[in-house]
Amino acid sequence: MAEVAWKSFMEFDRQREYLALATYLPRKSWWAILSFIRQTRAIQSQLESSNGLVGYSLRAQLLGKKSWTLSVWKDEAALAEFVRKAPHAGTMKDLRPQLTDARRFVRWKVAGSDVPPKWDDALRRIGEGGSGP
């Protein structure tokens, strides 16, 4: 199991709500995992310069061909801006055929006092609690 521990990128108000996003990205093949590793580095660089990112974490089960992301954003507009920009936009387009139908993207509101969100909660929300890391 590989994990990028939670990284914070901005001061946040413990009294307000933010947007949390959890993803589950199971790959169809081993080749897709090699691609994942290369693409992850580029997207991490994009994350580090994104406006409105509170923080993120990443988990990968390389032998199981699975990965999970957990991020918190200032609001929907900040997340949408990140999703539309390169390299994320192109990576997701290229990645779509490599993913199984079990892929999941789940958003919810999280209180600033609950940042960073717990992985157990995120995995439960995406329905992967039983087979996740």
Give residue-wise pLDDT tens across range 100-127.
999 999 999 999 999 999 999 999 999 9
Give residue-wise pLDDT tens across range 21-63.
999 999 998 777 777 778 888 999 999 999 999 999 999 998 8
The CATH topology of domain 2-125 is Alpha-Beta Plaits (3.30.70)
Q: pTM of the prediction?
A: 0.90
- 31-38: long-range contacts (C-beta < 8 A, 24 or more apart)? 32/65, 32/95, 32/98, 32/99, 33/62, 33/65, 35/94, 35/95, 35/98, 36/60, 36/67, 36/95
Give residue-wise pLDDT tens across range 60-91.
998 889 999 999 999 999 999 999 999 999 88
